[in-house]
Amino acid sequence: MPNSIEITDLQKRLGHFVLSIDHLQVPTGFITGFIGENGAGKTTTIKLILDMLRPNRGQIQVLGRDAQKDGSLAKADIGYVGDDAGYWASMRLRTIANITAPFFPRWDWALFDKLLSRFRLDPKAKYISLSKGMKKQFELVIALCHHPKLVILDEPTANLDPLVRRDILDLLLEMMEKEEVTVFFSTHITSDLDHAADYIVFLHQGKMLLFGDKDTIIEGHRVVKGPASLLSPGSEDKFISIQKNSFGFEALTDDPQWALDTFGKEAIYERPDIEQIFIGYTRKEDR
């Protein structure tokens, strides 16, 4: 199966907010990072994929099944970590696992124990006694220990310290080496994606701005810096976005060759990171 998620012609209205995605594919066997500012529509998209919300229009295929008609059949193959796991606060971790395991035919107790000890979580601890980061780690253990084909994570690393964030990303990468797993990962911490993602989706105010292979996207862009005297009205308009100050300009281009031909050796050309590209496209849309 080339794509684990395929979205076509999707529209969802929530009050004044409109989510509108013409086409989105999440390739099987890779990590796709889903980036957007607060309120961009990431959680709404994920809830639609999981059939927790119904669209006003459009089709969503998840693991080859229609999310609205028989999405429940795909649920055993999906590991999901969202905002609120909804676990009973006073339950012990082992009890939560005992209740969850029967829903998943490939539940793996050995993997559950291994992952719990990796995160130094005590199975006898009560869920309420865990810190925010430990709760996320436990939710991730539950999501991964039934060998899901598709892992959907809604901002799993928000509020976590860098060490825990890196540990979670490393765990995902290790899993993907051993079995074919697809990961769809929403975040606004773009540095996590610099490290881990293969594909990137940018969402802004309910619309997709960009989708593609991360390395190709980065290679296709440059941050150009130089003195303001290099600029002309025509060249300014060709940038995706530009910022000027008393020292000169800093701009994002999706045509590195044009920039080199236009500004030559007087400008500096830098490879952007994901955050610089995302901010550049967001500024362009907001102009």
Ligand X SMILES: Nc1ncnc2c1ncn2[C@@H]1O[C@H](COP(=O)(O)OP(=O)(O)OP(=O)(O)O)[C@@H](O)[C@H]1O
- Binding region for ligand X (CB under 6 A): 14-15, 17, 36, 38-44, 188
| CB 57, min distance to ligand X, A | 16
Question: 35 or 242: whose CB is closer to ligand X?
Answer: 35
| CB 11, min distance to ligand X, A | 13
Question: 159 or 232: whose CB is closer to ligand X?
Answer: 159
Question: 37 or 213: whose CB is closer to ligand X?
Answer: 37
Question: 188 or 238: whose CB is closer to ligand X?
Answer: 188
| CB 42, min distance to ligand X, A | 4
| CB 41, min distance to ligand X, A | 4
Question: 60 or 267: whose CB is closer to ligand X?
Answer: 60
Distance, first Cα to last Cα, the chain: 40
Q: Cβ(209)–Cβ(202) under 8 Å?
A: yes
| Pairing status of strand 222-226 against strand 57-62 | unpaired
Long-range contacts of 214-218 (CB under 8 A, 24+ apart): 214/33, 214/274, 217/277, 218/271, 218/272, 218/273, 218/274, 218/277
| CB 59, min distance to ligand X, A | 19
The rounded distance, in Å, linking the Cα atoms of 8 and 97 is: 36
Q: Cβ(217)–Cβ(38) under 8 Å?
A: no
Q: Cβ(31)–Cβ(175) under 8 Å?
A: no
The rounded distance, in Å, linking the Cα atoms of 9 and 23 is: 6
Q: Cβ(73)–Cβ(17) under 8 Å?
A: no
The rounded distance, in Å, linking the Cα atoms of 206 and 222 is: 26
| CB 10, min distance to ligand X, A | 13
Question: 42 or 221: whose CB is closer to ligand X?
Answer: 42
